[in-house]
Amino acid sequence: MAYHYIGGVRDQQFLMPVDMADWLDESHLAWFLIDVVDRLDTAALHARHPNDGAGRPAYNPDMMLCLLLYAYSTSTRSSRRIEGLCRTDAAYRVIAGGVVPNHATIARFLVNHEQAIHTIFVQVRPCALPPGCWTPPRSRSTAPRSARTRPFDRNHTAAWIRTRVDEILAEARETDQAEDTQPSSLLDLDRLPAELSTRDARTRRLTAALARVEEQEAAAREQAEKRQAKARAEAAQGRRLRGRKPKDPHAALARAEADEAAIRHQAHTTAAGQAGASGSAATTAEDIRTGGGGRPEVVAAVAATAAARATAQEATPTAFKANATDPDSRIMSTTNGWIRGYNVQAAVNQHQIIITGKVSQDANDVGLYEPMVEATGAALHAAGVTQPVGLILADAGYWSEDNATAAGPDRLIATQKSHKLRAAARELGTTTGPPPDDATPLEAMEHRLRTPEGPAAYAKRSHTVEPAFAFKTNHGYQRFRRRGLTAVESEWSLIATAHNLGKLHRAS
The residue segments making up the domain with residue 385 are: 129-143+326-507
In a domain? residue 417: yes
- Paired with 338 in beta bridges are 333
Mean pLDDT in residue range 204-215: 62
| Angstrom distance (rounded) from CA 42 to CA 164 | 43
The whole-number pLDDT of residue 261 equals 78
pLDDT tens column, 234-249: 666 666 666 666 767 7
Question: Is residue 121 included in any domain, yes or no?
Answer: no
Same domain, 366 and 492: yes
| Residue 306 and residue 330 in one domain | no
- 455-487: per-residue pLDDT in tens? 888 888 888 877 878 777 788 787 888 888 888
pLDDT at 107: 92
* Rounded average pLDDT over 45-62: 80
Instruction: Check whether residue 177 and residue 296 sit in a common domain.
Output: yes
Question: Residues 495, 427: one domain?
Answer: yes
**pLDDT attached to residue 34:** 93
Residue at 197 is within a domain: yes
More confident residue, 181 or 271: 271
Count of domains for the chain: 3
Listed residues 325, 342, 364: the one ending a domain? 325
Say if 364 falls within a structural domain.
yes
> Tens of pLDDT along 269-300?
776 666 655 554 444 444 444 444 457 777 78
Which of 191-200, 268-277, 396-405 comes out lowest in average pLDDT? 191-200
CB atoms within 10 A of CB 234: 18
3 state SS for 433-459: CCCCCCCCHHHHHHHHHCCCHHHHHHC
55 and 157 housed in the same domain: no
Q: Determine phi and psi for 62, rounding to 5 degrees.
A: -65, -40
More confident residue, 426 or 503: 503
Same domain, yes or no: 301 and 413 = no
Average pLDDT over residues 264-271: 72
pLDDT value for 145:
37
Residue 164: count of CB within 10 angstroms of its CB:
20
Task: Note whether 420 and 484 are same-domain residues.
Answer: yes
The 3-state secondary structure of 465-507 reads HHHHCCHHHHCCCCECCCCCHHHHHHHHHHHHHHHHHHHHHHH
- More confident position, 470 or 368: 368
In the predicted model, what is the mean pLDDT of residues 220-236?
A: 68
Residues 293 and 436 in one domain: no
Which of 325, 355, 380 terminates a domain? The answer is 325
Domain presence at residue 264: yes
pLDDT, position 352: 86
Last residue of a domain, which of 325, 349, 367?
325
Classify residue 15: in a domain, yes or no. no
What is the SS3 string spanning 49-105? Answer: CCCCCCCCCCCCHHHHHHHHHHHHHCCCCCHHHHHHHHHHCHHHHHHHCCCCCCHHH
In a domain, 76, yes or no: yes
- Among 127, 502, 483, CA closest to 324: 483
| Neighbouring C-beta atoms of residue 18, cutoff 10 Å | 9
The band of 262, judged by pLDDT with boundaries at 50, 70 and 90, is confident
Does residue 117 sit within a domain?
no
Residues 343 and 458 in one domain: yes
Return the H-helix or E-strand segment holding 357: strand 354-360
Share of the chain above pLDDT 90, in %: 16
Do residues 189 and 160 share a domain? yes
pLDDT score recorded for residue 241? 65
Q: Are 200 and 247 found together in one domain?
A: yes
pLDDT at 182 over 80: no
Report pLDDT for 463. 83
Question: Which of the pair, 434 or 124, is modelled with greater confidence?
Answer: 434
Model pLDDT, residue 316? 64
Query: Is pLDDT at 180 greater than 60 in this prediction?
Result: no
Regarding whether 303 and 246 lie in a shared domain, the answer is: yes
Residue 119 pLDDT > 80: yes
